Chains A and B, each alone.
Chain A
């Protein structure tokens, strides 16, 4: 598989804070990646570094084989849609649709028109006068219609209501199926997008916690619920991701179980429940926080 982005030892420091802390990973061509993490984990900073909108403190970035900083022939194939995009004063939606094709070679004007209709965007309204949701729609439409070989979406769907978000996910999947490209989606609404993702990058406090195929992560944890002693016996020496309980009842999250082990648990009168991608990431993030606090 060809690598579209290669990051080695990347660090970005703001004052005394490492927003991105010695990060290394690869992004392969034509896959949908989820860049997941809490607010302030470093998702936006990382994306800004990858799109050369900000400069690394240390480390190297290669996009399409080259350093993206001030390199037009790389950046022409990149589209970065972010929530906080500023537009020129007096710009209307139609001006955005008119000017975008000059910068994105693969722009599909017809597709953009259809999307404007889908998202119910008023073409003649000034950007300044749009509602939060409509403003997000503009970004989403540019990102989709650009058909840029490497497209970043930095939580552009905040402000979109649930219906509009679903439209976005559906359009994204549809377009990706017909015109494959590399997409990196950052979000803290993990469960909503989890089925769209092929690969998952979890970032927390500037560090990569998880860099895995989505399917490997799904089903990689189980929650065991039952009488405390029975649970503890069953869990034994397994790695515990999370533990909680009330009275004599305990609920412990551990790794994946084989069918044999599942039967063993059932026989012991324990209940097994699935752990969604979001819950898994929350647990892993909390664990890393605890470890961090302990080591401090």
Chain B
């Protein structure tokens, strides 16, 4: 009895396969590309009303103080957390589905990573535009700060874009790596992972406290600035990306 391979790979096959996975993630564009913007829009609206109220009610001195305070708005941090969740969902739910479509784990991970990069670019553009507008209108005419906040301020819009891009990538791949831990080792894996993570964080905090090196930590952030920190975060992002890949390679779609 002989075996035959009734299969063949076309030269463009591999790239096409990877992009098919990307396409798969984006089949339903609403939850990934529209809904976050709607929510962001809503948050902006709420913030705008609050700024308007503050402006209307306080005197000039108070207004200046308030403006200072508004530079630290965490409103836009929502979108980064949302992307983290998107990454977790993408890996967690789409992995067994992709396997059901006979996709290899490698193609799945690469296709998903491409999707992360595309979404990062998409949202980075949007955030940069909004930040630019905010700066140009002096806080939407009310001194408000949601996009152009102190953590994310750089000299020009091009750098602003890079900053946003790197931050989005960070959150995406951290989410992906976390989901990969779950997909690989399920609930037990998550418990162990978070236990280790907690110990690590506590350990580092304890270390910094005992060696009284918090000022140095602060200084490091200050000297590097937002962009510098983001560039350093790239190493973490890359590490997460690699870890995610290695974990997924051995994962199975347990029921």
Does a CB–CB distance below 8 Å link A and B in the complex?
yes
In the complex, chain A residues whose CB is within 8 Å of the CB of B23:
99, 102
User: Which of A2, A55, A72, A99 touches B3 (beta carbons < 8 Å)?
Assistant: A2
Q: Are A55 and B250 in contact (CB under 8 A)?
A: yes
Q: Are B93 and A86 in contact (CB under 8 A)?
A: yes
Q: Does B24 contact A (CB under 8 A)?
A: yes
Closest residue on chain A to residue B32 by CB atoms: A90
Closest residue on chain A to residue B30 by CB atoms: A90
- Kindly supply a per-residue 1/0 record for chain A positions 64-81, scoring 1 wherever the CB is within 8 Å of any chain B CB and 0 otherwise: 111000111111111111
Bound-complex Cα distance A117 to B23 (A): 26
B232 smallest CB distance to A (angstroms): 33
Q: Are A64 and B3 in contact (CB under 8 A)?
A: yes
B108 smallest CB distance to A (angstroms): 10
Bound-complex Cα distance A51 to B5 (A): 16
In the complex, chain B residues whose CB is within 8 Å of the CB of A3:
1-3
Closest residue on chain A to residue B7 by CB atoms: A73
User: Which of A6, A55, A66, A85 touches B97 (beta carbons < 8 Å)?
Assistant: A85
In the complex, chain A residues whose CB is within 8 Å of the CB of B99:
53
A108 smallest CB distance to B (angstroms): 16
Q: Does A129 contact B (CB under 8 A)?
A: no
A210 smallest CB distance to B (angstroms): 20
Q: Are A73 and B8 in contact (CB under 8 A)?
A: yes
Bound-complex Cα distance A19 to B3 (A): 27
> In the complex, which of the residues A55, A81, A103 has the most CB atoms of chain B within 10 Å of its own CB atom?
A103
Q: Does A17 contact B (CB under 8 A)?
A: no
Q: Are A80 and B102 in contact (CB under 8 A)?
A: yes
Q: If A51-B102, A98-B27, A102-B20 touch, does A72 touch B9 (CB 8 Å cutoff)? A: yes
Q: Are A75 and B2 in contact (CB under 8 A)?
A: no
Q: Does A188 contact B (CB under 8 A)?
A: no
Q: Are A71 and B3 in contact (CB under 8 A)?
A: no
Closest residue on chain A to residue B95 by CB atoms: A86
Q: Are A53 and B253 in contact (CB under 8 A)?
A: yes
Closest residue on chain A to residue B20 by CB atoms: A102
Bound-complex Cα distance A3 to B8 (A): 17
Q: If A2-B2, A72-B14, A84-B255 touch, does A103 touch B101 (CB 8 Å cutoff)? A: yes
Q: Are B7 and A89 in contact (CB under 8 A)?
A: no
Closest residue on chain B to residue A79 by CB atoms: B102
> In the complex, which of the residues A66, A86, A148 has the most CB atoms of chain B within 10 Å of its own CB atom?
A86
Bound-complex Cα distance A99 to B31 (A): 17
Bound-complex Cα distance A77 to B97 (A): 17
Q: Are B100 and A65 in contact (CB under 8 A)?
A: no
Q: If A53-B99, A75-B103 touch, does A99 touch B2 (CB 8 Å cutoff)? A: no
Closest residue on chain A to residue B3 by CB atoms: A65
Q: Are B7 and A77 in contact (CB under 8 A)?
A: yes
Q: Does B47 contact A (CB under 8 A)?
A: no
Q: Does A278 contact B (CB under 8 A)?
A: no
Bound-complex Cα distance A103 to B14 (A): 12
Q: Does A82 contact B (CB under 8 A)?
A: yes
Restricting to B3-24, which residues have a CB under 8 Å from any CB of A?
A: 3-9, 13-14, 17, 20, 23-24
In the complex, chain B residues whose CB is within 8 Å of the CB of A53:
99, 252-253
Q: Does B105 contact A (CB under 8 A)?
A: yes
Q: Are A70 and B31 in contact (CB under 8 A)?
A: no
B241 smallest CB distance to A (angstroms): 18
Q: Are A89 and B104 in contact (CB under 8 A)?
A: no
Q: Does A100 contact B (CB under 8 A)?
A: yes
Restricting to B96-139, which residues have a CB under 8 Å from any CB of A?
A: 96-97, 99-107
Restricting to A83-110, which residues have a CB under 8 Å from any CB of B?
A: 84-92, 95, 98-100, 102-104
Q: Does B28 contact A (CB under 8 A)?
A: yes
Bound-complex Cα distance A54 to B254 (A): 9
In the complex, chain A residues whose CB is within 8 Å of the CB of B24:
99, 102
Q: Does B68 contact A (CB under 8 A)?
A: no
Q: Does A288 contact B (CB under 8 A)?
A: no
Bound-complex Cα distance A62 to B6 (A): 13
In the complex, chain B residues whose CB is within 8 Å of the CB of A98:
27
Q: If A90-B28, A90-B31 touch, does A1 touch B1 (CB 8 Å cutoff)? A: yes
Q: If A48-B252, A51-B102, A72-B14 touch, does A65 touch B5 (CB 8 Å cutoff)? A: yes
Q: If A53-B99, A53-B253, A95-B27 touch, does A74 touch B94 (CB 8 Å cutoff)? A: no
Q: Show 25 A/B contacts (Cβ-Cβ < 8 Å), sorted by A.
A: A2-B3, A28-B1, A51-B102, A53-B253, A64-B3, A64-B7, A65-B3, A65-B4, A72-B17, A73-B8, A75-B102, A75-B104, A77-B6, A79-B102, A84-B255, A86-B96, A89-B89, A90-B28, A91-B27, A91-B28, A99-B24, A100-B101, A103-B102, A104-B102, A149-B6
Q: Given contacts A72-B17, A89-B31, A89-B93, could you give 13 more A-B pairs where the C-beta distance is less than 8 Å?
A: A2-B4, A64-B4, A72-B13, A72-B107, A76-B7, A80-B102, A86-B96, A86-B100, A90-B30, A90-B31, A95-B27, A103-B20, A103-B101
Interfacial residues, chain A to chain B (CB-CB below 8 A): 1-4, 6, 26, 28-29, 48, 51-55, 62, 64-66, 70-82, 84-92, 95, 98-100, 102-104, 148-149
Across chains A and B, which 5 residue pairs bring their CB atoms closest together, nearest first?
A65-B3, A103-B101, A75-B102, A102-B20, A84-B255
